Structure 1
Amino acid sequence: MKTSCLIIDDEPIAIKVMRSHLEKIPSIEVKATCAHALQAFEMLQHTKIDLLFLDIQMPQLTGIDFLKSLGAPPKVIFTTAYREYAVEGFELDIVDYLLKPISFERLLKALNKYYKLTAASLPVLQAAHSPVNESYMYVKSERKVIKVNLGDIFFIESLKDYVKIHTKTGMIITKQQISSFEEKLPPEQFIRIHRAYIVAVAYIKAFTADTIEVMQHELPIGRSYKSSTLHFLNYKAD
């Protein structure tokens, strides 16, 4: 029996990408797509849906408000370009929180979470040598592949084509873009604060409107990241 899905997003391109990803997976059936929450509400009245792929920022009604309005909602995976709603999303008992643009590998990870939660025995495609699981990731550094526990990471720093990972056990330098880490790391545990920095929320000691203190380091908050960063941190502080 296939898992029936509904995609809810006001961006046609985002719908096209998500549908394309899902149609590669034999155990998934995309029942329909909706451009806004009210259309989705009507669909849910007469169609059995197992899993929603739900955008957050939409006209008329946000994805978060839509989810709160449902009495017995299906399982939900949020799909959004905005990291700052991650904590609120997970408090609504969602399966996962995907940041756009969404890679096929990251989608598979979210679907595996869904099947684990529902105890379903349906087959899911596996991405070869997936670099991140729930608690650690593998990083290539020089001629070695190093296991890095996510809980040991203080922050990640971009150095042009390289990334420096600051951890409890020292620094690891790898030839990757910082955006690849932003896409793969759990958004409830890590936040991008600057084009050059991703920080672990657990190790934030203090913050101002312009800087974040992580361990003994004072890191700048980038202008384009200020709104989302402060929204996220102020929400955590409430």
Structure 2
Amino acid sequence: MDAEDMDPEGMDAEAVRDCYAGAAQAFRDLTAQVHEHDWSRPALGEWDVRALTGHTSRALTTVETYLATPAAGKRVAGPVEYFLAVRGAASPSAIAQRGKETGDALGEDPAAAVREIVQRVTALLRNTPDDALVATPAGAMTLIDYLPTRVFELAVHTLDLARALELPPPASLAPAVAASLKLAGAIGARLPSAGELLLLITGRTGLPENLSVV
């Protein structure tokens, strides 16, 4: 799949689904390589590998939860608008705590729990139409508009996990990374920091404090 197949303002539905499935597979395959003593290894900020895995698993379980929740309120046009709406809405401490709690909830065998979640959610998606509504924190969205936001989360945090474990990212993650770069660019173009982001990715500057599209 080419990156141009993942236009964040008008994505091909089959490409979105394939990209999500590949990212979920990459996450599952990477967690399968975690040794028992590595779950407590430092990973990202306050998170150890278990907590980061728990947080990443929410890119799967939120799809399931939001499909089961009646969607009401304003309609969100697409993934760019979703990220702009939720950007900064949750405090870093709340996100960190939720990651730890979700990691703990994976139980004694986190890799097996991830494997079951991936199997369950991907099966659900095979039987859910593109235009099914999901109740997101930003408002109601169609499933096919929401999935790119979960591709983004899976791509970024699976890369985080690979770095923490000092392992190469699984090959099936590559389309999600390409799609997420395109989505990040579309989000960044709408931010006051757009110029700084462009200078950063073209090697003109270092990383200014707190510069991010999310």
Give the TM-score category using the shorter length: under 0.3
Larger fraction in helix: 2
Bigger RCO of structures 1 and 2 (CA < 8 A, at least 6 apart) = 2
TM-score between both structures, scaled by the size of structure 1: 0.25
Give the number of the structure whose alpha-carbon radius of gyration is greater. 1
Larger fraction in strand: 1
